[in-house]
Structure 1
Amino acid sequence: MASPPALPPALVLTAGLGTRLQPLTSVRAKPAAPVAGRAIVLRILDGLARAGVTDAVLNLHHRPETITGAVGCGEASGIRVRYSWEPRILGSAGGPRQALPLLGPRLLIVNGDTLADLAAEALAGLVAAHARSGAAVTLAVMPHPDPARYGGVVSDHDGRALAFSRAGGPPSDHFIGVQVAEASVFADLPAGVPAATIGEVYDRMLLNGGGRPTGAIRTHRVEGRFFDVGTPADYLAASLALALALDEPAVAGAGSVVDSSASLTRCAIWDRVTIGPGCRLHECIVADDVSLPDGANLARRVMVTSAAARASGRHDGQPIGDTVAFPIDA
């Protein structure tokens, strides 16, 4: 019996701006945001290492120091990590093209700004299905959680991708941001030029001149948990849900001090935060270096320093000393 194919190196896409997560992404790049106390990108690398992936590449652009500071060389996750720098964002196809010299003929590509919690067997199954089919790209999909909010992938009964649908479109599967691809898919793209997979490169690969599916892109059903962290409200919900699933109590980040008389319920507290006596916070996100004065009483707010608020470009915040509180649901 043939042994399953070895897992290829992984490219984790971590270069994006994370615009919908502002003002938090003026503090850290989105993949460096802590979900249930551990950076998103570290949780992704942990899962890859458990599955047997030994090498990963991260592409960098926005707030790169917050990613490299959390990840380093990958020692915290037991995986070798190298970096691909993008002076300008190159997109979901241009990013892989830029990183090809650090990767092999086949690669895993994982979105670094969402969390797909897959068992090691699921990732190995994805790679094996890709190898058997001869496809150029195999997308990991799940049943669609919210077709009205997210687009999806329309496939035939053999798993051949037929179309990428928009939100509210025809019945589809949910692409969870994990895929296997042949390096040749990206090799002929011009280096250093932005390009997208869905909407550009992959769309051109779906059908032949006669309008029939080519089978170059396939889907593979996986089981697991998917956490969206697109907006501050999504981020908080994901952090709380993952902490509950892992049976890990919510804890304040490194260097944070919470007065014993303060009351915090369903909150995410980042690093070097100071919360004074008598503060009452419910469903709040408190980002790095925020200091809350005594008696602050807030619900469903995102708090960042005034410097981070200015950098975010948002203007709907409420100043509280040197802190600015934004509505979480805006």
Structure 2
Amino acid sequence: MNDSDKPQTTDVSAVPTAMVLAAGFGKRMRPLTDHTPKPLLPLAGKPLIEYAVERLARIGVRRVVINLGHLGDKIRDYLGDGERWGLDIRYSVEDAPLETAGGILQALPLLGERPFLVVNGDVWCDFDLAQWLARPLPAGCPGRLLMVPNPPHNPEGDFGIDGGLLSGTSKPRYTFAGISWLAPEILRDYPKARPCFGLGEVFTYNEDRLQAELYQGDWCDVGTPERLERLEHRLTE
């Protein structure tokens, strides 16, 4: 993820913990991911996940939890304990695939009792997360989702937005950007929680309660070698 190098100051009491999702197999990235986990694929001179880690540190986040799956030891070896970014990085190791929601649910003991940021480790975006820290979640709101216009690989979108809230029926529909701010109870209290399940069904269950915000700036789901190459070319130019 990208952000300016200008230091950003935020009330420390308002800064949440963050989770970076990095446990996927990266099957669409093969053969690049046969020996390298997708979050460590190089992009304009450094691993993709490092952009997310740097940016979280820049907005004042101090603890980051990263889930590990396919070739996860390589991610741990590269990032270490986070000291070089001024972070305390903890790891949640998944012995079997848990999908997005299952991975976060397993990591809840590391994330604490306050709302936390969640960022997909394979997403590039220049959205200013600091503005979210300036607007805490209202009481009773289980989360806030960033939505983007639909990319070619997801033309039908995921959800609509109605009055600033997530909607399964409103048009137009937009694509979930892989960036959210979630309260622990959205997973802890989900009645269909199980070891392996995705965030999509959790969001659907909480429609009309979740805040949703459309962002029309720079965003890319780096899900295939072709998308990675195009983004690399654009950034290096």
- Structure 1 residues 183-192 or 87-96, which shifts more? 183-192
**Aligned length in residues:** 225
CA offset digits 1:11-35 (Å, max 9, x no partner): 1000001110011111211001111
| Deviation of the 1:145 alpha carbon | 4.3
Cα gap change, 1:202 to 1:191, in 2 (>3 Å): closer
Match of 1:142 in 2: 148
2:119 to 110, 126, 133: 110
Cα gap change, 1:96 to 1:164, in 2 (>3 Å): farther
1:194 to 196, 207, 228: 196
Does the 8 Å CA contact 1:127/1:180 hold for their aligned counterparts?
A: no
Which letter does structure 2 place at the counterpart of 1:193? P
Q: Which runs of 5+ in 2 are unaligned?
A: 1-10
Match of 2:109 in 1: 101
Cα gap change, 1:201 to 1:237, in 2 (>3 Å): same
Once the two structures are superposed, the pairs formed by residues 267-306 of structure 1 within 5 Å of their partners are: none
Cα gap change, 1:148 to 1:83, in 2 (>3 Å): closer
Q: Which runs of 5+ in 1 are unaligned?
A: 207-214, 245-330
Instruction: Provide the TM-score with structure 1 as the length reference.
Output: 0.63
Match of 1:203 in 2: 204
Cα gap change, 1:243 to 1:133, in 2 (>3 Å): farther
- Give the alignment's Cα RMSD to 1 decimal: 2.4
Cα gap change, 1:65 to 1:219, in 2 (>3 Å): same
Instruction: Provide the TM-score with structure 2 as the length reference.
Output: 0.85
Higher strand share: 1
Choose between structure 1 and 2 for higher RCO, CA contacts under 8 A separated by at least 6 residues: 2
Cα gap change, 1:126 to 1:46, in 2 (>3 Å): same
| Deviation of the 1:4 alpha carbon | 8.9
Does the 8 Å CA contact 2:149/2:216 hold for their aligned counterparts?
A: no
Match of 1:234 in 2: 227
Match of 1:162 in 2: 167
| Deviation of the 1:175 alpha carbon | 2.1
Larger radius of gyration: 1
Once the two structures are superposed, the pairs formed by residues 238-253 of structure 1 within 5 Å of their partners are: 238-244=231-237
CA offset digits 1:31-84 (Å, max 9, x no partner): 011111111111110011111111100000100122112211113333211100
Question: Distance in 2 between the 1:4 and 1:85 partners?
Answer: 28
Question: Distance in 2 between the 1:43 and 1:76 partners?
Answer: 14
Question: Distance in 2 between the 1:39 and 1:222 partners?
Answer: 24
Question: Distance in 2 between the 1:147 and 1:154 partners?
Answer: 17
Percent identity of the aligned residues? 34
CA offset digits 1:276-303 (Å, max 9, x no partner): xxxxxxxxxxxxxxxxxxxxxxxxxxxx
